[in-house]
Amino acid sequence: MQTHDEAGQFVTADVAEPMQRSRWPTRWMAALLATLALLGVWLLARNHPYVDTDAMYYRAMANGETVMKPFAFRVLDPAAVHMFARATGRSTVEGFLVVGLLSEWVLLYGVLCPVLERRQDTWLVVVLLLLPFWLRNFTNYFLPDLLHAALCIVYLSLLRRQWWVWAAAIMPLMFLTRESTVLLAVIAVPVLWRLAGKRPALWQLAGAVVGMAVSKFAARHALGNQHNINDTLYLIGKIPWNLSRNVFGITLWTNTLHPVAPIRIWDVPHWMPMGAIHQIGYCSFDWTYQLSTLAQLLTSFGLGSCVAACLIWRTSLRKLLPREEAYLCIAAIYGAATFLMAPVLGAAQTRLFDYGWPLFLVYLPAMIPRIWRSWPIWTILALVGLHLIVAWLDLIGGALFHLDLVRESAVLAGCNLVAAWLLFNTAPGTQRLPSLK
């Protein structure tokens, strides 16, 4: 491994040092930490339940009812819950909890194991475990997000081991959990074609085709969406709708979906294939949507977005996307794409920003020890402190410090600016935090 200590510069290394010790103690340690973390999350979450408004559709599917699209495409989670309820005689509510617990454990284990397998910088485990992402993600266990994340970490782990066929077999399961898996397939196929060869890429393509086919088949009897328009048009229409509100602060309006009173309305021409939508309009400008988007972008993964921006600004693409590790390239590109697309995907932006976890929980923990080496301990401690403040401010800022959205955004921006200054201007030192053993 080659590194250099030059003031004001990143210290880079092309390939991480391989582990020489047996992997089994590491795996047992990852399993233990995942179990303890899951226990802590469950103890915190059970007294503060949260039921998303979309949960009713998945509970209905678990009870054997027919629901509308696009929820009807996401059949795997409700089907697993239904099977659990029939096999055990327990309620579907308990079934969702069991599937959520198992999924959270798999995700925790899959994130922690690669970090623990590296001898250096295993202190990153502490940084990862203290993220509120785990609590926030688990409280949505009625939604398919947890199961999809568990399947996705399994998929990335199989790619890491170059088990291409087994990875392709996971692809249809992910499509049956969330149809947005198509984005992962669109990224994985060309990346593998370029870095791993045609055969691995073709296996993933086959898995994606099968996944799309079985997803369509599973939803063949589903009800139409709330606008009664073509499924593709429905998904395309979500982009300008959410972009207008979350980025530009202007809420659009239709006769089928009217969150607030409009200030201007137009009739839709009869020749346009808009289903039940006969009128469109827009509502008054509200700057709080824009500020909320910024705050959630900055706080979702602590300093993750700041660190990622610094990496992109100061590091060459060749080092950012190592050819020898295609799974890291896929995790980085897919995670970044889903993270940046969050404002155009829906209203629940905190949950949508969380979809970018492959970038922050898989890619960055692997790359940070290669890019930053031998930083002074005070710098590391300062960054970790800022990271925890940023990560938890959204949850505790209002309750403990009575911060409104403006003050919260100001604190988040300030912490990120200080962190960026440290990352760009602190010269690498000779001391490092010790590894966890």
Q: Are 97 and 236 members of one domain?
A: no
- Residue 57, both tokens: 């559709």
Please indicate, yes or no, if residue 286 is contained in any of the structural domains. Answer: yes
Q: How far is CA 22 from the centre of its chain?
A: 31
d(CA 425, CA 428): 9
Q: How many domains does the chain have?
A: 2
Please indicate, yes or no, if residue 10 is contained in any of the structural domains. Answer: no
Please indicate, yes or no, if residue 126 is contained in any of the structural domains. Answer: yes
Pick the last residue of a domain from 239, 269, 290. 290
Query: What pLDDT is attached to residue 249?
Result: 83
Q: Are 317 and 356 members of one domain?
A: yes
d(CA 200, CA 192): 6
Query: Within a 10 A sphere around the Cβ of 19, how many other Cβ atoms?
Result: 12
- Residue 378, both tokens: 């005070």
Pick the last residue of a domain from 325, 355, 371. 371
Query: What pLDDT is attached to residue 274?
Result: 66
Please indicate, yes or no, if residue 190 is contained in any of the structural domains. Answer: yes
Q: Are 325 and 286 members of one domain?
A: no
Residue 21 per-residue DSSP state: S
Pick the last residue of a domain from 246, 264, 290. 290
Q: Are 102 and 244 members of one domain?
A: no
Please indicate, yes or no, if residue 58 is contained in any of the structural domains. Answer: yes
Regions of the chain short of the pLDDT cut 70: 1-22, 47-51, 119-120, 224-232, 234-235, 258-259, 273-276, 347-349, 374, 397-402, 426-437
Helix or strand (DSSP H, E) at 251? strand 250-254
Query: What pLDDT is attached to residue 50?
Result: 65
Query: What pLDDT is attached to residue 348?
Result: 61
Provide the domain limits for residue 139. 24-221+300-371
pTM: 0.84
Q: Are 67 and 191 members of one domain?
A: yes
d(CA 305, CA 341): 14
Q: Are 100 and 178 members of one domain?
A: yes
CA triple 272-277-74, angle to 5 deg: 105
Q: Which amino acid is at 202?
A: L
